[in-house]
Structure 1
Amino acid sequence: MSAEVVGAALGALGGGAILLVAARIAAIRRPQFAVRVLPYLRDVGADPRAIAATTSAPALPPVVGAVFGPGLRVAADGVERVLGGAASVQRRLDRAALDRTVLDFRVEQVLWGLVCFAVAAFLGLLRGLRDPSAALPTLVVCVVGFVFGVLARDSWLSTQVRDRERRIVAEFPTVAELLALSVAAGEAPVVALDRVVRRSRGELSHELGRVLAAVRTGRPVATAFDELAARSGLPLVARFAAGIAVAVERGTPLADVLHAQAADVREAGRRELIEVAARKEVLMMIPIVFLVMPTTVVFAFFPGVLGLHLGMS
């Protein structure tokens, strides 16, 4: 076979590969059907930024999922059998407003573990080039790195939940006051809720948007707020939802209830701030007692001790 034929075959093979890659990239960049349709189906009355915030990216890119997806899912099933707690994980995913299933989260845990495993393996390889007898400790470190990555993703999920709940607590008094003002102005609860959702941005506004979407699809107002109370991990949001549900069912003054809840949350935040300040005050004493005061004592007594030493000599 001549060199021209071999070159032509290699060129055709390379050109075909480039065309396949280009076609796949074009297919990936094409907007998905859900992205095109969801803005017209989600009845939250918010701008596209809010819709984008409620629709999270998939756990894996399409190409990576097609190639490595089956193996990662098998590994994720193994992690699920070892760790368990699927109900707790799903509840934390809901509280963190992550649009993922438990399987997607387990796949992310496996990916974090593989990244830590790769880092440990790379460091072990560098060490093995100098000391070939360190193969077994390197393997143990790699396994520990994989376990650390899996647990680190779970810990990061808990951190995401706490950060989101902290933002909800910070937003709650303002949203409750806006809702109370709208109700006091004579608007119905659903209309007031729609006004607050359209005028505000944040995590609590997103939760109220979900409640509004449920109400507009035919669910009773009290039932939608009861679901919010069950879904939330914060007692104040649960009390807020239960108070609105009871007020709607029994006809109690809703504005007074919302004003009282906003005042309670502000008072609780003030107490928490005082407690945090008290703890920080104790922590501020540590450098003073163990660093500043010993240094001051040394500078105060060292000249006298040096003078006595010179006088005795």
Structure 2
Amino acid sequence: MTPGMLGVVLGGFFAGGLLLVVARMLVIRRTQLALRVLPYVRDLPQVGRVPALRVVSSSPAAAAAGVFGPPMRSAADLVEKVLGGARSIERRLQRARIHKTVHEFRLEQVVWGLIGFGIGAAYGLLKALGGGINPALALIICALGFAAGVIARDNRLSAQATNRERQIVAEFPTIAELLALAVAAGESPVAALDRVVRRSRGELSADLADVLARVRTGEPVSVAFDGMAASTGLPLVARFATGVAVAVERGTPLADVLHAQAADVREAGRRELIESAARKEVFMMAPVVFLVLPITIVFAFYPGAIGLNLTTP
């Protein structure tokens, strides 16, 4: 093929690709029919139909699932079959207040596993370029990287749930005292709950906002707090919700119950702090033994050693 003919062929391919890009841009710029009609049918019931437009998650797992699709879902199903524990994951997602399904979490585990697999593959490639590596060992390293990524995402979920529960424990005495003050001032439990939710920010306040939303939709106060007690992973929050439900049902003084629970939580926190300090007593002594004491000895004996050296003939 002559150079002129080769230039014609390459120019034709370039022109065809450019025309495809321009045509696709024109299609994308055109407003879709669903977008034009949606403002007029937004309030119509959607019973039995799947909405044409929905909010797409911006997480990396959702993006990866959208790009790779069936292989990612198959990998997530395989991880679910191998590991199991869907109920435990659902419980921890609820405790961490992460609005995702178990399948979406499995997709995230697959993404983390692929990241670990990529790190292992990069290590194997560097070793191969440096002086050679056994292919079986490289495959084992990649498999271990994938497993480490999957387990790391599971541990991360447990850490998120634990951190959120610690925040709830730290916020509980203040929230309980505010509710007690509002109830003692003459407000109803629902009004006191609304006042506290509007004035506070935090994880416990978010849970109480969910309870308030359920109450406003017509659910009884006791039933809403019973649901909160059933869904929480903290015994103190469960006792709080159960106490409020019982107080509302039987008419017992709610302010006294809230004050007593806040005092109990503060006492439990103080006792836990003392126990934690007792368990870490050895670690607390490490800076004194290995840092402060050697410096003190040096300051005590170094001037005397210098003086002996100066007086020695």
TM-score range, shorter chain: 0.7 to 0.9
Change in CA separation of 1:21 and 1:237 when aligned onto 2, cut-off 3 Å? farther
Paired residue total? 290
Change in CA separation of 1:19 and 1:181 when aligned onto 2, cut-off 3 Å? farther
Paired letter, 2:11: G
Inter-partner Cα distance in structure 1 for 2:26 and 2:6: 30
In the alignment, is residue 105 of structure 1 matched against residue 112 of structure 2?
no
Match of 2:246 in 1: 246
In the alignment, is residue 193 of structure 1 matched against residue 197 of structure 2?
no
From 17, 22, 25, the equivalent of 2:21 is: 17
Match of 1:260 in 2: 260
Inter-partner Cα distance in structure 1 for 2:272 and 2:229: 23
Paired letter, 1:84: G
Match of 2:167 in 1: 167
Deviation at 1:286, TM superposition (A): 2.4
Inter-partner Cα distance in structure 1 for 2:263 and 2:252: 18
For residues 128-207 of structure 1, the aligned pairs below 5 Å read 128-207=128-207
The alignment partner of 1:132 has SS state of coil
Match of 2:216 in 1: 216
Match of 1:232 in 2: 232
Range 93-102 or range 172-181, more displaced: 172-181
Inter-partner Cα distance in structure 1 for 2:289 and 2:207: 47
Change in CA separation of 1:56 and 1:228 when aligned onto 2, cut-off 3 Å? farther
Inter-partner Cα distance in structure 2 for 1:259 and 1:148: 46
Unaligned ranges ≥5, structure 2: 36-54, 306-313
Change in CA separation of 1:293 and 1:67 when aligned onto 2, cut-off 3 Å? same
Inter-partner Cα distance in structure 2 for 1:148 and 1:136: 18
Inter-partner Cα distance in structure 2 for 1:25 and 1:205: 44
The alignment partner of 2:143 has SS state of helix
Paired letter, 2:100: R
Q: Identical aligned pairs, as a percentage?
A: 59
Inter-partner Cα distance in structure 1 for 2:107 and 2:227: 28
Paired letter, 1:73: R
Match of 1:76 in 2: 76
Change in CA separation of 1:217 and 1:68 when aligned onto 2, cut-off 3 Å? same
Inter-partner Cα distance in structure 2 for 1:206 and 1:26: 41
Change in CA separation of 1:282 and 1:61 when aligned onto 2, cut-off 3 Å? closer
Inter-partner Cα distance in structure 2 for 1:181 and 1:212: 18
Inter-partner Cα distance in structure 2 for 1:181 and 1:304: 66
Deviation at 1:287, TM superposition (A): 3.9
Inter-partner Cα distance in structure 2 for 1:155 and 1:214: 32
Inter-partner Cα distance in structure 2 for 1:81 and 1:279: 40
Change in CA separation of 1:265 and 1:24 when aligned onto 2, cut-off 3 Å? farther
| Bigger radius of gyration among the two | 2
Q: Deviations along 1:122-146, whole A, 9 cap, x unmatched?
A: 1110110122243221211111010
Range 115-124 or range 5-14, more displaced: 5-14
Scaled by the length of structure 2, what TM-score is found? 0.80
Deviation at 1:18, TM superposition (A): 6.3
Deviation at 1:7, TM superposition (A): 2.6
Inter-partner Cα distance in structure 1 for 2:138 and 2:233: 42
Change in CA separation of 1:12 and 1:226 when aligned onto 2, cut-off 3 Å? same
Inter-partner Cα distance in structure 1 for 2:175 and 2:238: 15
Match of 1:47 in 2: none
Q: What is the alpha-carbon root mean square deviation over aligned residues?
A: 3.5
Higher RCO (CA < 8 A, seq sep 6+): 1
Deviation at 1:285, TM superposition (A): 1.4
Scaled by the length of structure 1, what TM-score is found? 0.80
Could you tell me whether the CA contact under 8 Å between 1:228 and 1:241 is conserved in 2? yes
Paired letter, 1:249: E
In the alignment, is residue 67 of structure 1 matched against residue 71 of structure 2?
no
Deviation at 1:16, TM superposition (A): 3.1
Unaligned ranges ≥5, structure 1: 32-54, 306-313
Could you tell me whether the CA contact under 8 Å between 1:175 and 1:196 is conserved in 2? yes
Paired letter, 2:277: A
Change in CA separation of 1:144 and 1:64 when aligned onto 2, cut-off 3 Å? closer
Deviation at 1:5, TM superposition (A): 7.0
Paired letter, 1:258: L
Match of 2:96 in 1: 96
Inter-partner Cα distance in structure 1 for 2:91 and 2:58: 19
